[in-house]
Structure 1
Amino acid sequence: MHDTSHIVSAKYAQQMIPHFRGNPLIEALPPTMTDDALIDALTLMPEFDPSQRQWSTSNRFMMLKSMQNFMIPMQNHVELSWAMDSMMRAGYVGRAPRTPGHAKIFQSIYEKQLAGMGFSQTASSRTPQISTSLIGISGMGKTTTVNRWCAHLPKVIYHEEYNLYQIPYLHVEMPSDGSSIKGLAHGILQKIDELLPGADYYSQYALKGKAGADTIMRSVARLMNLHLVGLLICDEIQNLANATKGGQKVMTELVSASNDLKVPILFIGTNKASKVLGIDFRQSRRSSGHGVSPWDRLHPGTAGQESEWDAFLEILWQFQWTRKPVPLDPLLAYRMYDCSQGVIDVALKLFASAQVRAMLDGTEKVTPDLILDIYENEFKLIHPMMDALRRDDLEMLCQYDDIAPLNLQEYIENAHRKLNRLKSPLFSVRATDKTFTPRLAAGLTSLGFSAEESSEVAEAVAQADSSINLAQGVKQAVSALTSTPSAKRKRRTKVQEELAPDRFDDRQEDYRRAIAHARSRGVPILEQLQEFGMAPLLEEVIEI
């Protein structure tokens, strides 16, 4: 059953917006936001209070996860939002339902179908009439800004008087192979099906029969006109550069369809997309066609003049959940810029990851050395991209589809697991604890050593170093026991007796099968035994 909570009645929308009359499609849209309202809509920051620094480490980890959606509106973000609003409203001019303009578009699609024509390149195909492109450095918040702006629009508006559904925007990703017109058409069909109650266009047009790419695209065009799509957002446009052939054809189809349907298109992509769009990225950095400039990284300000990077970093620095917050000084600011090169996503994850490490190692303090260590060890995959940015090597940057330093949520979840391990007796119980020796001896006995030698070695390990924990003690004890010839012989004899033919039983057969299964899968034998429940975890063995 379709969820219809995202559908808004046009009558209700018009009551809320009494000032714009004439075109029911534009009337039904929310009013253009003021500057203050737009900034509020784009802003996204965690709920922070200094008292949270005293929370448990686990709870502070949870707060750090929220940093992945952190957003501070800047000039580029506002500029893009205004452009999308303008494009969508301009695209609806002359397309009101049951008007000559709307009918003319249907007629054009029908005539092309009769003539067996698709959307072909014309003199204006490479210059969409009311469309634009946004290219630039990955990790600067392009898609996030689009999503934040789109969130203020109803996904679907129902016009009762026309019995029609209006879709203000469609946000789709370009096919990953870069050359599939069908893949793009399928994505649009599926998106419309998700939005409209009872719609099953994907099955109707994509699965039935053997329709070619041109036929499916004509069907998509009819549906976009029927359901009054206001703005088509084509994300990951750089995927078209992956095509061995056909990438330009996809682009031509899109642009020609935009011109025919009067539906504006916003193309979003990384620097690599400039090749697909036929743009010289060096020149595009100095231009701002259609009100959208290419997005570059942020830069530090000069003496006496604060930049957007400086303002961003000052706001970001307030969100310290470590118990020993530090003020932002010139050295920290330099280190943050040097390791992130002004890329917002990298800076956010670098700052959050540094806090995670500080919490885990107990220092509870972000330092320049810690930031550098995180960059050197956790962000290795992006070093080539960061080096290209330092050199301002645009050709090299165009080779990279994305700058994705790490998955912050996954990183914090791994840190959470490490924190839980540190709380276990393996790490918390030291040699000075009265339970250390019996725990260690019990663990050694479960590993096959005799009770007598296990107790002797456990006692010796505890006396040798009072600062070690159980995990370290187990390593030392096993090393000592296995390096003793007599112990090797005792253990080998015991194992040989257990596996002797006259003592062979179902349990031994199960173990041998588990070992064979582990070898066939290429996984450690102990891991396979634990998966089958045939070997206890060390934490379970030493728990007394």
Structure 2
Amino acid sequence: MLTGSKEQAVYTPSEDPMYRHNPFIEALPPVLPMEKVASLLRRHPVYHQSERELAASKRLEAVQRIANYVEPLPIFLELEQRFSRMLRNGYSPRNPISAEWIKQLRSGFPDLDWDRGKPDYQPLVRSTAAGFAIIGTSGVGKTTAVESVLSLYAQQIQHSGKYGGHALDRVQLVWLKLECPQDGSLRGLCLNFFQAVDEIVGARYYHKFGNNRRRSVDELLPEMANVAAVLGLGVLVIDEIQRLNEASSGGAAKMLNFFGQMVNQFSVPVVLVGTFKALPLLSGEFAQARRSAGQGDLVWSNLPQDDVWDFFIEGVWHYQWTKSETPLTPTIRNALYQESQGIVDIAVKLYMLAQWAVIGQEDETISPELIGDVARDSLQLARPILEALKKRDLAALGRIKDIMPPISDLEQYLRGARERVTLEGTLDTMKAQRVAQQQNAHKEPDEILMRVAEVLLEAGFPVDMAHQCAEEALKQHADETELAPVIKDALLRAVGVRPPSRGTQRNPSRKGQHQKTQKSAVEKALAEMIGARKGEVTPHQALKNAGVIKPIEEFWTNK
């Protein structure tokens, strides 16, 4: 169940005379221009080119952002216009204030003759509420588009105070989106409705109607319609309508006819969303209601290989986390289309899978061949629908069940990529450690000590302190293959953050407490480096004089 926001009513006078003086309509957002709608529907995740330099494990995770990418295609804008008209037309005959309803009628029908000899006369106005169906292939973006459009409207509007001088204190439920239950039962859908309403508005309709098993579906349906009317429901959206089962609790025919009654009698628009498998179900009274309303059903098929497809793929391709950038060539563009047949969900998942396949490899280039391999390995369930789309076989599309790659399959593929990158990264680390160990094994201890002490000298510490701290740090990290931890430890000891090793003292002001020992070659070199800092000799020459830096001739071998 999709849940939205709750807002306090803010009334904007309607520009359309037919909608004036209706608080349900004037509490809705104003009709928006297409440019603004596109801007509000667009969802572009964050991305920076510098992220290509991140570790492979982090880039694998970043690829998942592509799943949140939403580009409002032209059909999105058409859908928004339909919902905007549908909500206002549905609310038009349902003014919650009787006196304002009279004003609304006079505004909408200025030439209407009200003189019928009765002071309380109200003319009968036919409802123009419109429902429609959205039918299309799995993965083309139906649900994403519907939920994106619904998100433009607050789900609940709280009317508190006065409207036109009349007290108005009530909740307006602008929209409600449900999914057909998995078993396709009519009773299950009714109970889902009551549970959803309770969760959103804080009522207890399920306790009142759902707990009594003696209530039949024929009794629940009118209660459901009554609740929708009481709460001022603007539109009811039922997704996955293909699940409705003719054999379950009265089946599809009864439910679809009931939807028709909601449109005709209660002016509550109903939008049904499903795959081509639902086509045989969309008949009866609900079909008649849709035809008479003039909205027309929306058939949402795969994208053709045209400018819209190119626009979409160019936007998605921007989100690339491979080390080497792969440009979007005509051959890659064509490979993506052939393997997805213009189903945007499959195209996006293919692009994600292709990046997961190469990130962490020596060559992180995406090729048409790679896209084909990934499609064959990971999208086997989608083959029937892709073949049906290639052949434009609507009958086959009606027989095929929902075959979109489940999230669990994508997560399993990502887990495999993570394990591969982790294994390769661990192996690289072990190889680097082995090389470091081999290199350090050939170094003289004094040479390592000198390198650590030199850092402390450059930081301005005295010679004795630099030598002693370096020596202590080296003992503490005898098994360390990298110099960085040893240098860090020595610096901490020098500044007094880390205490000296037991039995050692490090206070240069207390002279005479150190045993006088003969200076080693390292100590001599350090002393000479102090002189080098004063300009007497260079540090390199000081190390050479102390015998730490050997002449290159010593490493020559006679052949």
The Cα of 1:400 is off from its aligned counterpart by: 2.1
Q: Secondary structure of the equivalent of 1:32?
A: coil
2:168 counterpart letter in structure 1: Y
- Determine the structure 1 residue equivalent to 2:421: 419
Q: How far does residue 186 in structure 1 lie from its aligned partner after superposition?
A: 0.8
1:175 is paired with a residue whose SS is coil
The residue correspondences of 1:133-148 to structure 2 (distance < 5 A) are: 133-148=133-148
Cα deviation code 1:181-205 (max 9, x no counterpart)? 21111111111111113x1211111
> Is the alpha carbon distance of 1:57 and 1:406 closer, same or farther for their aligned partners in structure 2, counting shifts above 3 Å?
farther
Amino acid at match of 1:225: A
Shift of 1:258: 2.5
Contact 2:22 2:100 in 1 (8 A): no
**Post-superposition offset of 1:293:** 3.1
Q: 2:230 aligns with which of 202, 226, 230?
A: 226
Q: Structure 2 matches for 1:103-142, cutoff 5 A?
A: 130-142=130-142
CA distance in 2, matches of 1:317, 1:373: 19
Which residue is equivalent to 1:526?
none
Q: Structure 1 residue 68: deviation in Å? A: 1.2
TM-score (normalised: structure 1) = 0.67
Q: Could you tell me which residue of structure 1 aligns to residue 216 of structure 2?
A: 212
Task: Give the CA deviation at 1:6.
Answer: 3.2
The residue number in structure 2 matching 1:95 is: 94
Deviations for 1:233-279, whole angstroms, at most 9, x for unmatched residues?
Answer: 11111112574662212211222222211100111111111111139
Query: What is the SS of the residue equivalent to 1:189?
Result: helix
Q: Deviations over 1:104-132 (max 9, x none)?
A: xxxxxxxxxxxxxxxxxxxxxxx995111
What SS does the aligned partner of 2:181 have? Answer: coil
Q: Distance in 2 between matches of 1:129 and 1:30?
A: 19
Instruction: Summarize the Cα distance change of 1:243–1:351 in structure 2 as closer, same or farther, 3 Å threshold.
Output: farther
- 1:8 and 1:154 in contact (8 A); partners too: yes
- 1:431–1:229 Cα change, 3 Å: closer
Deviations 1:470-507 (Å, cap 9, x if unpaired)?
xxxxxxxxxxxxxxxxxxxxxxxxxxxxxxxxxxxxxx
Distance 1:79 1:291, change over 3 A: farther
Aligned equivalents of 1:212, 1:65: Cα separation in 2:
46
Shift of 1:175: 2.2
Of 267, 276, 282, the match for 2:272: 267
Q: Deviations over 1:396-453 (max 9, x none)?
A: 111223241242455334432443344446x8646994899xxxxxxxxxxxxxxxxx
Structure 2 residue 162 is the aligned partner of structure 1 residue 157: no
Alignment of 1:49-448 (within 5 A): 49-99=48-98, 130-160=130-160, 161-178=167-184, 180-197=185-202, 199-208=203-212, 210-240=214-244, 243=247, 246-278=251-283, 290=295, 293-301=298-306, 307-407=307-407, 408-409=410-411, 411-424=413-426, 429=430, 433=434
Report if the CA contact (8 A) 2:90-2:128 is conserved.
Answer: no
Q: Distance in 2 between matches of 1:139 and 1:377?
A: 19
1:494 aligned partner: none
> For residues 149 and 163 of structure 1, what CA distance do their matches in structure 2 show?
27
Tell me how far apart the structure 2 counterparts of residues 174 and 343 of structure 1 sit (CA, whole Å). Answer: 23
Specify whether residues 251 and 202 from structure 1 end up closer, same or farther in structure 2 by C-alpha distance, changes over 3 A only: same
Does structure 1 conserve the Cα–Cα contact (< 8 Å) formed by 2:198 and 2:204? yes
- The whole-number CA distance in structure 2 between the counterparts of 1:294 and 1:170 is 22
Superimposed CA distance per residue, residues 345-390 of structure 1 (whole angstroms, 9 cap, x where no aligned partner): 0000001110111104332111111101101111111112111111
Any unmatched runs of 5+ in structure 1?
A: 103-126, 280-287, 302-306, 437-544
Q: CA contact under 8 A between 1:45 and 1:69: conserved in structure 2?
A: yes
**Percent identity for Structure 1 against Structure 2:** 30
Counterparts of 1:44 and 1:255, CA distance in 2:
35
The correspondence of residues 501-512 of structure 1 with structure 2, limited to 5 A, is none
Q: Over aligned residues, Cα RMSD in angstroms?
A: 3.0
The AA in structure 2 aligned to 1:339 is: E
- Counterpart contact for 1:81–1:149, Cα < 8 Å: yes
Shift of 1:17: 8.1
**For the residues of structure 1 that align with 2:245 and 2:401, how far apart are their CA atoms?**
10
Q: Is the 8 A contact 1:137 1:295 kept in 2?
A: yes
The aligned counterpart of 2:11 is 14
- 2:548 paired residue number: none
**TM-score normalised by length of structure 2:** 0.65
Which sections of structure 2, spanning at least 5 residues, go unmatched?
A: 102-126, 161-166, 285-292, 438-559
User: One-letter code of the match for 1:269?
Assistant: G
Confirm or deny: 8 A CA contact 2:21 2:100 kept in the other structure.
no
What is the alpha-carbon distance in structure 1 between the residues aligned to residue 329 and residue 4 of structure 2?
48
Report if aligned partners of 1:388, 1:396 keep a CA contact under 8 Å in 2.
yes
1:31 counterpart SS class: coil
Query: Kindly tell me: are residues 378 and 209 of structure 1, through their superposed partners in 2, closer, same or farther at Cα, counting changes over 3 Å?
Result: closer
**Aligned letter for 2:262?**
A
- CA distance in 2 between counterparts of 1:241 and 1:5 reads 29
Paired residues of 1:340 and 1:347 also in contact (CA < 8 A): yes
Letter in 2 for 1:175: P
Measured in 2, the distance between the counterparts of 1:381 and 1:78 equals 31
Residue of structure 1 equivalent to 2:494: none
Pair 1:41–1:413, CA change in 2 (3 A) = farther
Instruction: State the AA in 1 paired with 2:169.
Output: N
Question: How big is the shift at 1:84?
Answer: 1.0
1:202-238: CA deviation from partner (whole Å, max 9, x where unpaired): 1111014621112222221111111000001111111
Q: In 1, Cα distance between the equivalents of 2:421 and 2:229?
A: 55
Structure 1 position 21, deviation (Å): 4.1
> How far, CA to CA, are the matches of 2:211 and 2:372 in structure 1?
53
Deviation at 1:319, TM superposition (A): 1.6
Give the Å deviation of 1:139.
0.7
Contact 1:61 1:412 in 2 (8 A): yes
Listed one character per residue, the Cα deviations across residues 97-156 of structure 1 (whole Å, up to 9, x for unaligned) are 143999xxxxxxxxxxxxxxxxxxxxxxxx995111110111111111111111121111
* Structure 2 Cα separation of the partners of residues 100 and 237 of structure 1: 39
8 Å contact from structure 2 (residues 128, 267) kept in 1: no
Larger Rg computed on CA atoms: 2
Aligned counterparts of 1:322 and 1:17: Cα–Cα separation in 2: 51
- Helix, strand or coil for the counterpart of 1:72? coil
Kept in 1, the 8 Å contact 2:326–2:365? The answer is: yes
- Distance change in 2, residues 1:393/1:128 (3 Å): farther
Q: Which residue of 1 aligns with 2:515?
A: none
Q: For residues 411 and 353 of structure 2, what CA distance do their matches in structure 1 show?
A: 10
Change (3 A) 1:128 1:253: farther
